[in-house]
Structure 1
Amino acid sequence: MRPLTDNVAAVRESVLNRGGDRDRWATMFGASRRSAAVLILIAGAWDADPTHPGGLPADADVLLTERAATLRQHSGQVAFPGGSFDPGDDYPVGTAMREADEETGLSAAGVDILATLPTFPVPPSGFDVTPVVAHWSAPSPVRVVDEGETARVVRVSLRELLAPENRFQVRREVIGGQDYLGPAFFVDGLLVWGFTGGLIAAISDAAGWDQPWDRADIRPLDQMIELAGSRQESGFAAVHPRHLHHLADPDGQGRR
């Protein structure tokens, strides 16, 4: 992870080079912004595996949550543990760790903070989110703590998540000719896209973990949400009413 932690600006550069102008998107959803933090918690061997791109170890995994389908914002979406700043937090690390504990029961013991990444705006919820990268040197048990907030807590293999066959892009029309287009992953029944998917893609790029994958494989976001069997909202309802596209899939490109 040293290429990432030694140059945290590379993550933002990766997002911008992909055309992900998050500041432009943020302006579409209003100017009011709140501070938040997420915990990017990666477990596995500390030593690099020289046989794999970027030295990614075979046992490396990342902690993810699936948000409850009943939440008002980003319902059902896959996310890193995290949430909004509370007074008294040692922001951003304290916020990320407190929220991770509240969502997953995570013990702070064995969590080694490595780096704080640049802050990103996350429309339409109005948050400015600071990602905190950590190594889980002594993993503790995790679980769903509050079913009203979290539907699922999982540790996902990074090699499986980043495998070329599990990567594609999703597209959705937002305003007239303006399209949302971003990286996505499908593994273990989870559709990972949006802020989380974009951040995973940028981290993988900056850390050198990427393998060649088909960037021309572009799928309708609403269709992929349906195929994943999740009850998540795309998050764009604020500017474009949500409607499901029941599209034919003659080539099987939307299924895995």
Structure 2
Amino acid sequence: MADGIWDNGGAPTGGPRLFPDALPDGVGARRRSAAGELALPDWFAPLLSRLHRSRAEDFTRLPTPNEGGRDSAVLVLLGEEPDGGPDILVLQRAATLRNHAGQPAFPGGVADPGDADPAATALREADEEVGLDPSSVTLLAELPTLWIPASDFLVTPVLAWWHRPHPVAPRDPGEVAHVARLPVAELCDPANRLRLRHPSGWIGPAFEVRGMLVWGFTAGVLSTLLDMAGWTRPWPQDRIADLPPATPPPAATADADEQP
């Protein structure tokens, strides 16, 4: 994206970059679009305020390689439940895929040459995967690019607000098996939280919600954002389960341990 589009207000280099006018205003948070000023739910304000002050190290322990890697992006799309609480759009990848088969994930994928920036990649992929209307989404922030060594993806999470939610569903069953809006209240329920241990010795956060076991890169990003928003509740971090030996190694996020 061209210089001048982003405004991080002096945030540390390498940290999240907030879109203009997505900064908290002390009461709530607002985002100005072509249609005028759009008010965000009050629960967004603490998250945006913390993101504004955060660093890349808050999201990952792995440095981004200087060469190689496949540029990718995912859409971290927060909506609002009928009762006013936040939820997050997550899909379950088809079991036949070569990379991360069967895993819950954010919508997203590899950048195309015609994509202007990570946000364009994330929106295009979300449309292709689950039929998300890009005009229903308000972009808020581009998070630091995270490296997934197992697949050599360089993934940029793009935070957004689903201001006009609509039905979504898998467009290609060969890529996406299931789509769900996971309530943040359920993600934060201590009964739904655990840590998973990979045969390599990696241990990282995980969530068991609505029949999905969310772990790896997706769980790491979720756990970090829940902490930043102040939504995390105390949970039993000694609850550890083992992943099958054939499971590919995940990315190392800030909430992951390198050994038991």
Q: TM-score, normalised by structure 2?
A: 0.73
CA deviations on 1:64-105 (whole Å, 9 max, x unpaired) are 010011011110010000001101112111000000000000
The correspondence for 1:191, drawn from 204, 210, 213, is: 213
The correspondence for 1:235, drawn from 245, 248, 255, is: 248
2:74 alignment counterpart: 38
Are 2:91 and 2:178, in contact at CA under 8 Å, matched by a contact in 1?
Answer: yes
2:182 alignment counterpart: 156
Residue 3 in structure 1 maps to residue 29 in structure 2: no
The correspondence for 1:87, drawn from 113, 121, 124, is: 113
Give the CA RMSD over aligned residues.
2.4
- Relative contact order: is structure 1 or structure 2 higher (C-alpha 8 Å, sep ≥ 6)? 1
Are 2:93 and 2:104, in contact at CA under 8 Å, matched by a contact in 1?
Answer: yes
Amino acid at match of 1:216: D
- The CA distance in 2 between the partners of 1:196 and 1:12, in whole Å, is 16
Output aligned runs, 1:136-215, within 5 Å: 136-174=162-200, 179-215=201-237
- The CA distance in 2 between the partners of 1:2 and 1:11, in whole Å, is 18
Are 1:11 and 1:202, in contact at CA under 8 Å, matched by a contact in 2?
Answer: no
Q: Secondary structure at the match of 1:222?
A: coil
Aligned-pair identity (%): 44
Are 1:143 and 1:153, in contact at CA under 8 Å, matched by a contact in 2?
Answer: yes
Distance 1:196 1:143, change over 3 A: same
Structure 2 gaps of 5+ residues are 1-43, 251-260
- The CA distance in 2 between the partners of 1:214 and 1:165, in whole Å, is 8
Structure having the larger proportion of residues in helix: 1
2:3 alignment counterpart: none
How many residues in Structure 1 have an aligned counterpart in Structure 2? 206
- The CA distance in 1 between the partners of 2:122 and 2:114, in whole Å, is 13
Which portions of structure 1, spanning 4 or more consecutive aligned residues, are displaced by more than 2 angstroms? 1-16
Structure 1 gaps of 5+ residues are 46-56, 224-232, 238-256
Amino acid at match of 1:213: W
